[in-house]
Homo-oligomer: A and B are copies of this chain.
Amino acid sequence: MDGGIDHLADERSKAEFDVDAMKLVWAGSRHAFDVSNRVSRLVATDPVFEKRNRAVMSRKELFKNTLKKSVHAWKIINELRLSDEEAIKLRSFMDQPGFLDLHWGMFVPAIKGQGTEEQQKKWLSLANKLQIIGCYAQTELGHGSNVQGLETTATFDPKTDQFIIHSPTQTSSKFWPGGLGKVSTHAVVYARLITNGKDHGVHGFIVQLRSLDDHSPLPGITVGDIGMKFGNGAYNSMDNGFLMFDHYRIPRDQMLMRLSKVTREGKYVASDVPRQLVYGTMVFVRQSIVSNASNALARAVCIATRYSAVRRQFGSQSGGIETQVIDYKTQQNRLFPLLASAYAFRFVGEWLKWLYTDVTQRLEASDFATLPEAHACTAGLKSMTTSATSDGIEECRKLCGGHGYLWCSGLPELFAVYVPACTYEGDNVVLQLQVARFLMKTVSQLSSGKVPSGTTAYMGKAKHLLQCSSGVQKGYFFTDTCRRFILVISICFLNYNVEHAAEDWLNPDMVLEAFEARALRMAVTCANNLSKFENQEQGFSELLAELVEAAIAHCQLIVVSK
């Protein structure tokens, strides 16, 4: 900005850590780093993957552009015989939401997790070759969070050995599934299973929606795109859709039957495969959401940090060069905690990968003991990291002043495409309430001598933690909020700018204990308040707000501890 001085080179030369080593830490391993590097270059140098013109395209053009890119990516993956890991990277660097995200991310895993071996063989071989394209049709106009309230019905007709899929009300229309609006030929549809007049609750079914000849919707199917979403470009490259069934028939063997099945006679039979297996998939999906949070926040922070180093404003009385805005303490105070959070979310994401492996191995050995804790902790971390990332991207945008408001800064689109992560795969508030339920159960079991484990192990130190008045000021932690929390991780991780912080804050053990004490006290206070109610459910609803705060404190502790 002022005669070609490269401020970034200047800032970079000042790094006090080994930048190459840090790159590997960020990537997770030398191998992951190499893959990432190689594939990113592949995408960056391929003109088909160009994104610069995305903002000026009409919706239709944008959608066609997604089709083109998806097909091109598919071609490259096959021609270069990319590994699964490489293919995933390629699609992520393509950086344009599209129908295949749901095909690979939800349709295929649903069949893997809930289909019998036979079903997997049949459908996965079609899906893996993209001979069919699938989406995940769960949410309805009337029900998102409350999956048990879905209204679509799948009624078994023993005469024809078929299920009749039907949308009995307007609110039962499927609404939101990505890839449904224009592309998908098939869907995993969630519907209430009804046999012999009995409602067995929500189950998954593989349903063909469009002709494989001319792509037109099959008779009995009404389907379309739900229209524009937040922002320009952003998630509008995705064809989120609506779907209604008018007594639409599918063969009986298209119910996903790994966990339970319907016999030729219409009898409902649970298999001996444990239901808990479904949670394994959830842990996997949420682990990848936490990694994505770290990626998205890192991108935003990278833009804002570089801009703050280049941008100069004020501070020159004598007409000389002005102050880099990164040198203002207010700018640092807003930016550095987000930088630290991006790293923290990275590390907790890596730990979640380990957790997924651990849970999977245990499930295979029919050990379900750690599942509730693993489930609560992934739900909570999904919620916490996506909320912090959404807010953080917008803060990064503001840190760039006027220029952050331009589409070409990259930040408006990043925000618009990222924020639904707070809503899909579980509304962030609803998820924290699940964590809270688990915490209340754990606290209530403390007195009966049950030893808490994993991320709740600290509760075993209840006596000590309830007594200790950690060197770090007590009141401070109790009225803590997310911003403050992030400041704390900032200090722990970056060890930056701490002249004004108490000595204790530099001692990780002390900080960890303070977070433990805080989380425990909040949980115990909630449990005590809860015990004053005769009706526990009523107590729970009265205390929702406090329960969410206690759950968040628990999740913050997990991030600090990993």
Contact = CB atoms under 8 A, between A and B. Distances in A.
Given A232-B231, A412-B231, A416-B412, A139 B402 contact: yes
Interface string A412-445: 1000100110111001110001000000000000
Contacts of A419: 394, 397-398, 405
A56 B62 CA distance: 12
A146 interface: yes
A1 interface: yes
Interface in A464-482: 475-476, 478-481
A95 interface: no
A73 interface: no
A226 interface: yes
A176 B480 CA distance: 39
Interface in A323-355: 328-334
A314 B145 contact: yes
A401 interface: yes
B402 A544 contact: no
Nearest to A329: B544
A230 interface: yes
Contacts of A142: 1-2, 312
A455 interface: no
**Most central of A55, A226, A405 by chain B CB within 10 Å:** A405
A545 B416 contact: no
Given A401-B427, A405-B423, A543-B329, A230 B149 contact: no
Contacts of A478: 475
A102 B330 CA distance: 31
Contacts of A390: 394
Given A398-B423, A407-B230, A416-B231, A328 B541 contact: yes
Interface size class of A (residues with CB under 8 A): 35 or more
Contact of A401 (B55, B145, B394): B145
Contacts of A227: 55, 406-408
A377 to B, nearest CB: 20
A288 interface: no
Interface string A377-414: 00000000000001000100110011011111000100
Contacts of A521: none
Contacts of A543: 329
A23 interface: no
State the copy count for this chain: 2
Given A149-B322, A398-B422, A231 B230 contact: yes
B313 A146 contact: yes
A115 interface: no
Interface in A224-246: 226-232, 235-236
Contacts of A416: 230-231, 412, 416
A548 interface: yes
A179 interface: no
Nearest to A387: B398
A366 interface: no
Interface string A239-282: 00000000000000000000000000000000000000000000
B402 A424 contact: yes
A144 interface: yes
Interface string A23-39: 00000000000000000
A171 B1 contact: yes
A55 to B, nearest CB: 4
A11 interface: no
A253 to B, nearest CB: 30
Contact of A405 (B229, B412, B483): B229
B228 A406 contact: yes
Contact of A329 (B232, B405, B541): B541
A313 B334 CA distance: 36
A110 to B, nearest CB: 19
Contacts of A145: 313-314, 401
A143 interface: yes
A69 interface: no
A412 B313 contact: no
A480 B229 CA distance: 35
Interface in A518-555: 541-545, 548
11 contacts: A2-B171, A56-B59, A143-B313, A144-B402, A227-B408, A229-B412, A328-B541, A329-B543, A479-B480, A481-B481, A481-B484
Given A2-B142, A232-B236, 20 more contacts: A1-B141, A56-B59, A144-B313, A144-B401, A145-B313, A146-B314, A228-B406, A229-B406, A230-B231, A231-B416, A328-B541, A329-B542, A329-B543, A332-B545, A333-B545, A394-B394, A398-B422, A401-B423, A404-B423, A416-B416
Interface of A: 1-2, 55-56, 58-59, 139, 141-146, 149, 171, 175-176, 226-232, 235-236, 312-314, 316, 322, 328-334, 390, 394, 397-398, 401-402, 404-408, 412, 416, 419-420, 422-424, 427-429, 433, 475-476, 478-481, 483-484, 541-545, 548
Q: Which 5 A-B pairs have the closest CB atoms?
A: A230-B412, A475-B475, A228-B407, A329-B544, A55-B228
